[in-house]
Structure 1
């Protein structure tokens, strides 16, 4: 009997420890102040998410303030620097590093559980990882994708070779299979996709490499073997006119392209695979940040809301506002948005660190020299790397 009683006590002890481990801590209470710059059409979805959160946590109240986008960052910086401001801010991804460096937003690494983070699109999560900190959460995503007119190209190219075969095929009259964009913003992520990288984690150049040369040569092929563009609207215009079957462009043009050729004829395909990985596109985010002034109960409530915002129910609600979910497993009724979410699984985080500002001019000049003038890729990329390194030193000296 004593043995049975002892075994029961041990079992109860194990159960109590397990329950304690599963506990999420005290329920959030108090007031959450939220600042945002969302459009009027997005407000109903935001209100619905807030109402659902309050239904779960009735002890939490909200003060929500709309601030015009052009004023939001400055107002936030001034308020938080003087001890005020909101608990939570919804704002642009490229604000994050500067706000974190100024100690105006919190590192939420210790609050976020690994299982929760695994639900978030990897590229989107990369946009909020900075200096070994998690400086916010990506609440919606957008980015570069591959659009296809199914009437012109019935089957999606599964590999780069498939894409290049389509690209090099002669046009049928004035209808082209593909018109491929090689502009730096639209093509840079291909480098990451094939196993290279544009920059190190600290922003230093990393593209002057064998993979960098492979990337540049691939982009040169776009223009040599078929119709190619470099920051023009020709590809989009041809696609809308039913004269191009595949283009590379931003997800923000999805609605316009669907209206032009018919939603039933439009597809957004997964990036084709290559021998070293796959093509890719930059993924950009809008983020939700926790104020550095949110402490104790305010921190608990603010983080609970942020975590709720990235949950399936809230992300499903935000789809109504046209937001592409940042997490996996959200049921999306619109097949084009569903395809976009799938395509972003092979996306690359857009660098939002200050050092990115050093890249644009030098990389544009390098790519134009390689693509238009036949310059040697290795030498040209080395020169660009040296120029960017010098500019980065200037950026860091001014910080």
Structure 2
């Protein structure tokens, strides 16, 4: 981890050596960062020019003078270098190595961009479109194959239903995240798959920081790859349902898998939880940090209302005032979705999820005992294991991320 004294050691006469940095112009700014550490920032033009000058061997003072002469602006390069140190972009100061915190390694480090370059091929969207069209035609010809909630209850044994939902659901989640990983890795991003939490939900997430340096088509491909996989799995299941016997167990399992794949899609529309659709929306609208800006604006409105009600304190300053007009409007609208969406999710958890889980656990516990049939005991054990594992993982993940 960077030590405080290192930043203080930088002097106007110091020369620094930067790590290998990737850089790309983007709407009047420059995206700069290190793939190894998954740390990326947006800089104004003077910052990008300062990086070039420092990389060319100029001292901090010389770079500041050159910036003033060539760009006609005052830019505090000394302060800027100290910020670069905090970001882990500086390798040496006057030939002295700069310590930094080693990030957690990327997932599947042996997978190289050339191994998965096919994921960016324009042929894949065409194949996906054909597969989706075939499934839609099949459903139009066989409306009896349309998904129903009863497809999840494919067995009278609750343990088997929960087991398929748990194993199948998390398998689909892994493949979903693997699609993000593969497309991001194809662009050179050191992606990492990990567990995370979104309000009351335990989720798998893929850190693809650095995808901002890729062309827009590649960025949108990486953001939407997971949803495309869910739709592909559902489409394949539909086509297999057409050729399987309706009375066979495989037919029932395929119907359940199709529904599980589709159930993962509505969650992506909850943009207030930074889902796949959120990142697409953020990219399309040109916002740098839609969630952060929306959260800050919602907090500002809340503090302003509280101040008006209590009559205490000075009115807070609008944190969105420094944003460009377009980003400011989007952030303000998004803040409304953020507040109401979060409130609705928490209300649904209190009204449905918690009572349902408590009921399932209570039933499982009361049905355990030596006087119960083996199948009943096994069913209760599976219910307790599935629910207990899910809630324990959520609690541990939440604690680690907050810590």
Normalised to the residue count of structure 2, the TM-score between the two structures is 0.21
Higher helix proportion (structure 1 or 2): 2
Higher strand proportion (structure 1 or 2): 1
Bigger radius of gyration among the two: 2
Q: Which has the higher contact order (CA 8 A, sep 6+)?
A: 1
